[in-house]
A and B are shown apart, each in its own frame.
Chain A
């Protein structure tokens, strides 16, 4: 479950952005719409602990994300939150499957190659597993980005993980 309470954020030299309280139950999907510059990405970054909350509270599965210290927030994010970016980013030095395994390892779990392969198969890019990121088409890159954010077999990640996406 995700919920926010009286969340506000102010960039240096900018206006205070006031966010309406939101609430999203487990297995629900929430769509946030808004015109350019109202703070959609800022909200997502606050939810993911990428930005430090200045005022208000963010709760994910009863964890007050805004109270976590820097490294605890990094760990919590790695373990519990999947983020798919507008622009897909990868570690260029690694192959497709190694990018997925890197995500597994940074989430604090042991790497599992067969699990990573299964995930890529489900996203229809299993045949590109051992290729360089450069060889992926735009669409395949999006799938690759999803695979990094998921990095758990599809049937289990929905129950535990919170995925947020921009775009």
Chain B
């Protein structure tokens, strides 16, 4: 009968006290641990997807929305920009720009976004082709790993896209068949969740859609669109270069992701402001917008964290009270243990152990709650944030949470333990 066993038996003797202490403790630890899991994964997601993009240029509107839409593929686009306006950015002779990657959004397949772009997008996300080939002709697509895993699309599979960003059967373009030519390896970034094709494919899907009801009124068909339509049916294929886009100034894209040649260049620093002041387009820096978002989320997180710490402190207090109370009830027992040969240190250790065991159980329950909770809501978050959250990832900081939990248990037990060690056995045994 070791003192650890004795401490354990004393704890389970009083199931109500036990329940009260560990439920409170578990809630506090659970909330803290959940916040850590969530924040770490969210920050990881945001950081990974910054992808060294210095500037996003799109339609005027909310800069944060534009970043969330074009870099994280969460929100809706602020609108489209004409290629005519974007031409200066897309020319590869631009003195400041190293890479300019056009994005065209507007369609989805089973809520995975179809993005019209060029092959440079692979480099910025560090994506590598795993199977097949990259898209080259119109309507050819290369899909990210998550898309392949979740939809079961394989090379050679054909599918129709749906308009918008949500999986909605009513909005399906049932005539335009995309064909999968390649699958990318996993990167952990947002590209895993995208279906990549050339910009022209996005135009073609929508032109087709628009031209159908116009058949009765052929005159309203603009000559350019008509030509283009003709091109498509004649199986003209657009290559993926920016030069090809510039040849279609009447068309629109959603945004351009820009990487500077030299970030610290004075002109580069003013580049975004110039666009905002002098063009119909809007430019925003992902790093600045995401920091703004962090500081907004931060307020809520801080409030929750304070609440969690408060719960943890109250639970430590409840452990203290229940131990302190039991000292009174158990004074004969403690005197007996002393008489049977236990020194003061052993009695002290017994009570400390009871506090530590309670804290440990609370920690284990809280950790289990937070991980299971994280896993349960991961599916919802996956849709909203386009990021695979998981409950089965353990962080190093959880060891710190364990340390703090045990420290709270120790603090809660220390006064009762000192009291127990100081018990005057002669006095106690001479009572009554």
Residues of A that sit less than 8 Å from B by CB: 41-42, 45, 48, 50-51, 70-71, 74-75, 77-79, 83, 85, 87, 89-94, 98, 101-108, 111, 148
Contact = CB atoms under 8 A, between A and B. Distances in A.
A79 B332 contact: no
Contacts of B426: 42, 45, 50-51
Nearest to B432: A87
The 3 A-B residue pairs whose C-beta atoms are closest, nearest first, are A78-B341, A71-B343, A93-B13
Contact of B339 (A77, A87, A90): A77
B346 to A, nearest CB: 8
Contacts of A83: 339
Contact of B341 (A51, A70, A75, A85): A75
Contacts of B6: 91, 93-94, 102
A94 B9 contact: yes
Task: Determine which residue in A74, A77, A90, A101 has the highest number of CB atoms from chain B within 10 A of its CB, and name it.
Answer: A74
28 contacts: A41-B429, A42-B426, A48-B339, A50-B426, A51-B426, A70-B344, A71-B343, A74-B341, A75-B343, A77-B339, A77-B341, A78-B340, A79-B341, A90-B333, A90-B336, A91-B9, A91-B333, A91-B337, A92-B13, A93-B10, A93-B13, A94-B1, A94-B9, A98-B1, A102-B1, A102-B340, A106-B341, A111-B1
Interface string B313-339: 000000000000000000011011111
A107 B12 CA distance: 25
Contacts of B337: 91, 102, 106
Interface in B2-33: 2, 6, 9-10, 12-13
A14 B89 CA distance: 100
A61 B2 CA distance: 29
Interface of B: 1-2, 6, 9-10, 12-13, 332-333, 335-346, 425-426, 429-430, 432
Task: Determine which residue in B6, B339, B345 has the highest number of CB atoms from chain A within 10 A of its CB, and name it.
Answer: B339
Nearest to B10: A93
Residues of B contacting A: mostly: helix
A64 to B, nearest CB: 19
Given A51-B426, A74-B344, A92-B13, 10 more contacts: A41-B429, A50-B426, A71-B343, A74-B342, A75-B341, A90-B333, A93-B9, A93-B10, A106-B337, A107-B340
B101 to A, nearest CB: 69
A131 B33 CA distance: 42
A105 B346 CA distance: 12
A42 B427 CA distance: 10
A92 to B, nearest CB: 7
A92 B11 CA distance: 12
Contact of B430 (A41, A48, A71, A93): A41
Given A41-B430, A50-B425, A91 B343 contact: no
A15 B341 CA distance: 30
B337 to A, nearest CB: 7
A98 B333 CA distance: 14
Nearest to A52: B426
A105 B1 contact: yes
A8 to B, nearest CB: 16
Contact of A92 (B2, B333, B430): B333
B429 A106 contact: no
Contacts of B9: 91, 93-94, 98
Nearest to A46: B426
Given A50-B425, A51-B426, A105-B1, A91 B336 contact: yes
Nearest to A48: B339
B343 A70 contact: yes
A101 B340 contact: no
Given A50-B426, A74-B338, A89 B332 contact: yes
A62 B341 CA distance: 20
Given A45-B426, A89-B332, A89-B333, A50 B1 contact: no
A71 B1 contact: no
A127 to B, nearest CB: 21
B430 A89 contact: no
A105 B1 CA distance: 6
Task: Determine which residue in B1, B335, B343 has the highest number of CB atoms from chain A within 10 A of its CB, and name it.
Answer: B1
Task: Determine which residue in A75, A92, A106 has the highest number of CB atoms from chain B within 10 A of its CB, and name it.
Answer: A106
A38 to B, nearest CB: 14
B10 to A, nearest CB: 5
A91 B7 CA distance: 11
Contacts of B338: 50, 74
Contacts of B430: 41, 45
A148 B332 CA distance: 15
Nearest to B341: A78
A79 B342 CA distance: 10
B336 A107 contact: no
Contacts of A87: 332, 432
A102 B426 CA distance: 21
Given A92-B13, A102-B1, A107-B340, A71 B345 contact: yes
Nearest to A71: B343
B316 to A, nearest CB: 23
Contacts of A85: 429
Contacts of B425: 50
B333 A103 contact: no
Contacts of A90: 333, 336
